[in-house]
């Protein structure tokens, strides 16, 4: 593996499905850009021992449904490299990575728009209410906030600014989750970046060909992709997502999922209770 500390890919892979997806991603990187590291936060680092270019670190999910744990992935990657690109674990790199991954300071996303424009597509009024509440408490003009699709984006290290960004992201995430909105990491990142002065920019041209199931479905509908050529990737994705399980296993998994969900909600209250910035900014009673 290239020992350069300039750039790495990074992802979150906690649980059977996500580890299996991440193993496929690791193979893709090995094939198409073998000199590039992949930093993985996972519950079972031993699953990646066969890949010399993978840096796997033990991690247990902290946010209620795991979405905001992207923060820990980015923090770890940027502690080791100058810049990183976060990819959802089920993204596939399906062709050569051409050129060097050089990124300007801040966040560079593939797709997004200003937050106010994106809010016109939000169907849940509670989400809009919480976004506006956070913006008001932080004295942020929503018109100045950027939203971006979180499945693929790059970030360059800015030591002092990044630290403030990650801390504020955590604080904002508590409010979203306390209000029952467990995804919302795109909102949290956009709001935190606007507050601390971190730039979010967009680069629409892809650095490499990739497959992401929902993105590919949109491309096919627009006539931008050949479904027959991509069917093999859809088949692999479906096989991983819907593994054959016995009925007892399905029941056990469902009960465990509910138990873990309740546990993380209770833990959230504890974390939020100990976050002085959370109380100071949002005046929320725990």
* Cβ pair 97, 81 in contact under 8 A: no
* CB 85, CB 10: distance < 8 Å: yes
HSE, CB side, 13 Å, CA atoms: give it for residue 191.
Answer: 27
Residue 166 has pLDDT above 50, yes or no: yes
CATH number of 7-211+253-282: 3.90.550
Phi/psi at 66 (nearest 5 deg)? 90, -15
> What are the tokens at 285?
């009673």
Q: What percent of the chain has pLDDT over 90?
A: 75
Pairing mode, if any, of strands 54-58 and 7-13?
A: unpaired
Q: How many whole angstroms separate alpha carbon 203 and alpha carbon 263?
A: 39
Name the average pLDDT for the chain.
90
Banded model confidence at residue 256, pLDDT cuts 50, 70, 90: confident
Rounded to an integer, the average pLDDT of 184-204 is: 94
Residue spans per domain, the chain: 7-211+253-282, 213-243
pLDDT of residue 285: 53
pLDDT tens, residue by residue, 87-128: 999 999 999 997 778 899 999 999 999 999 999 999 999 999
Report residue 2's pLDDT band, with 50, 70 and 90 as the boundaries. Answer: very low
- Whether the per-residue pLDDT at 148 is higher than 90: the answer is yes
CB of 187 closer than 8 Å to CB of 194: no
Distance CA 55, CA 37 (A): 7
């Amino acid at each position: 593996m290239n020992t350069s500390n300039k750039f790495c890919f990074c992802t979150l892979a906690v649980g059977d499905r996500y580890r299996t997806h991440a193993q496929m991603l690791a193979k893709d990187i090995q094939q198409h850009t073998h000199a590039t590291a992949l930093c993985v936060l996972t519950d079972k680092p031993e699953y990646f021992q066969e890949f010399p270019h993978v840096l796997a670190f033990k991690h247990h999910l902290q946010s209620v449904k795991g979405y905001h744990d992207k923060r820990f992935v980015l923090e770890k990657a940027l502690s080791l490299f100058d810049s990183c690109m976060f990819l959802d674990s089920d993204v596939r790199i399906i062709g050569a990575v051409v050129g060097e991954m050089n990124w300007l300071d801040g966040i560079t996303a593939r797709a997004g728009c200003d937050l106010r424009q994106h809010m016109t597509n939000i169907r849940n009024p509670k989400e809009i209410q919480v976004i506006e509440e956070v913006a008001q408490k932080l004295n942020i003009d929503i018109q100045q906030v950027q939203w971006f699709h979180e499945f693929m984006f790059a970030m360059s290290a800015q030591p002092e600014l990044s630290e403030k960004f990650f801390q504020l992201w955590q604080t904002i995430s508590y409010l979203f989750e306390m209000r029952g909105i467990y995804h919302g990491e795109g909102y949290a990142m956009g709001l935190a970046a606007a507050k601390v002065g971190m730039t979010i920019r967009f680069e629409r041209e892809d650095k490499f060909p990739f497959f992401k199931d929902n993105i590919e479905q949109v491309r096919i509908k627009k006539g931008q992709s050949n479904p027959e050529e991509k069917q093999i990737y859809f088949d692999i994705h479906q096989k991983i997502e819907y593994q054959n399980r016995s009925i007892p296993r399905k029941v056990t998994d469902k009960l465990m999922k509910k138990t873990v969900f309740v546990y993380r909600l209770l833990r959230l209250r504890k974390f939020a209770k100990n976050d002085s910035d959370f109380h100071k900014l949002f005046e929320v009673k725990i």
